[in-house]
Amino acid sequence: MKCRLGLVWDSNILFSRYIEECGVTCEHITPQIIAAPFFRSRLCALVIPTGFANPEYSRLLPALKASAPRIRRFVEGGGNLLVFGAATDRSDAYDWLPFRIAYHHAYGQQHLAIDHDHPLASLVEGYDTGCIECDGYLTEHEGTVIASAGGNAVMILSRIGKGQVVVTTIHEYPSGRFLKTYSSAPEETLF
């Protein structure tokens, strides 16, 4: 079983160290690299952290838009994609994903209604789901709701080809068990 993910961000961040401490090999991928036609990597999962669409935090959004066909091929081929909140109310923040989604930025503590029987609910394992940080909610989406807050989706799953996309506005690191499971596959997928 392979266990390898790509963390897409402008510079190295603490999140990568957390991922590696969870037992997952983590490759840092910059906006310049993800959009470069010559870049190739073999991964099981790709992670887009919170704030990717807010220019105060990141320059990632233009690179994600330029890489949309590559991201779709990666997921269709069997890769897993984990996308966090955009941290801004841009209407085009998620238009690089291979399905319709809209987001409203509103940071605060939430009480989650979560499908604990779903294997991906392990994302919040170890957290108090009665009082968890979220940076907004999804106003439109195509996918299965795994968690909601105040009647609004905060975590969805959409299957595309052989892979899957999880979009969440939960503003916490995913549990180690979630990262290990979501980033593991019998073989890596070309990105």
Q: Domain spans of the chain?
A: 2-190
What's 170's DSSP letter? B
pLDDT, tens digit, for every residue of 54-84? 999 999 999 999 999 999 999 999 999 999 9
The mean per-residue pLDDT over the stretch 164-183 comes to 98
Whole-number percent of the chain with pLDDT over 70: 100
CB 107 within 8 A of CB 51: no
Q: How far is CA 115 from the centre of its chain?
A: 18
Q: Taking 90 as the threshold, does the pLDDT of residue 175 lie above it?
A: yes
What fold, for 2-190? Rossmann fold (3.40.50)
The mean per-residue pLDDT over the stretch 104-109 comes to 96
Looking at every residue in the chain, the average pLDDT score rounds to: 97
Distances (CA, A) of 112 to 115, 121, 125, 169: 10, 11, 12, 11
pLDDT classification of 4: cutoffs 50, 70, 90? very high
pLDDT, tens digit, for every residue of 78-97? 999 999 999 999 999 999 99
138-30-74-159 Cα dihedral, nearest 10 degrees: -20
pLDDT, tens digit, for every residue of 110-160? 999 999 999 999 999 999 999 999 999 999 999 999 999 999 999 999 999
Q: Taking 90 as the threshold, does the pLDDT of residue 37 lie above it?
A: no
